[in-house]
Amino acid sequence: MSPEGKRTRGRFAPTPSGRLHLGNALTALLAWLQIRALGGEMILRIEDLDRQRSKPELAGLALSELRWLGLDWDEGPDIGGPHAPYEQSRRGGLYERTLDELRRQGRLYPCYCSRADLQAAAQAPHGLDSEGPAYPGTCRQLSADERESRAQRKTPSLRFAMDETRLYRFEDGIAGRLEYAGGSGGDFVVMRADGIVAYQLAVVADDIEMGITDVLRGWDLLDSTPRQLALYEALGAAPPRFAHSPLLLGADGARLSKRHGSVSLTELREAHGVRPERLAGYLAWLAGLIDRPGELAPHELIASFDLASVRRRAVSLPEDWLTVLTTG
> Tell me, what's the pLDDT at 118?
59
pLDDT higher than 50, residue 123: no
**Which domains does the chain possess?**
9-87+246-327 (3.40.50.620), 92-200 (3.90.800.10)
Query: What CA–CA distance (Å, rounded) separates 103 from 242?
Result: 27
Query: What CA–CA distance (Å, rounded) separates 312 from 288?
Result: 10
CB 212 within 8 A of CB 237: no
Using 50, 70 and 90 to split pLDDT, how confident is the model at 127?
Answer: very low
Using 50, 70 and 90 to split pLDDT, how confident is the model at 114?
Answer: confident
Percent of the chain whose pLDDT exceeds 70: 91
Catalytic residues: 258
Taking each helix axis from N to C end, the angle separating 199-209 and 92-104, rounded to the nearest 10 degrees, works out to 100
pTM for the whole thing? 0.92
pLDDT higher than 80, residue 258: no
Contacts 24+ apart (CB under 8 A), 111-115: 111/135, 111/138, 111/139, 111/156, 111/157, 111/158, 111/159, 111/187, 111/189, 112/139, 112/142, 112/147, 112/150, 112/151, 112/153, 112/154, 112/156, 113/138, 113/139, 114/154
Give residue-wise pLDDT tens across range 265-311.
Answer: 999 999 999 999 999 999 999 999 999 999 999 999 999 999 999 99
Beta bridge partners of 170: 178
Give residue-wise pLDDT tens across range 200-254.
Answer: 999 999 999 999 999 999 999 998 999 999 999 999 999 999 999 999 998 888 8
Q: What is the DSSP string of 127-161?
A: -SGGG-BPP--TTTT--HHHHHHHHTT---EEEE-
DSSP 197: B
Give residue-wise pLDDT tens across range 166-206.
Answer: 999 999 999 999 999 988 889 999 999 999 999 999 999 99
- Residue, of 298 and 125, whose pLDDT is higher: 298
> Tell me, what's the pLDDT at 125?
38
Beta bridge partners of 177: 171
> Tell me, what's the pLDDT at 116?
63
* Range from 81-85, 91-95, 130-134, 238-242 carrying the lowest mean pLDDT: 130-134
Query: What CA–CA distance (Å, rounded) separates 257 from 263?
Result: 8
CB 160 within 8 A of CB 174: no
> Tell me, what's the pLDDT at 51?
79
Using 50, 70 and 90 to split pLDDT, how confident is the model at 124?
Answer: very low
Using 50, 70 and 90 to split pLDDT, how confident is the model at 52?
Answer: confident
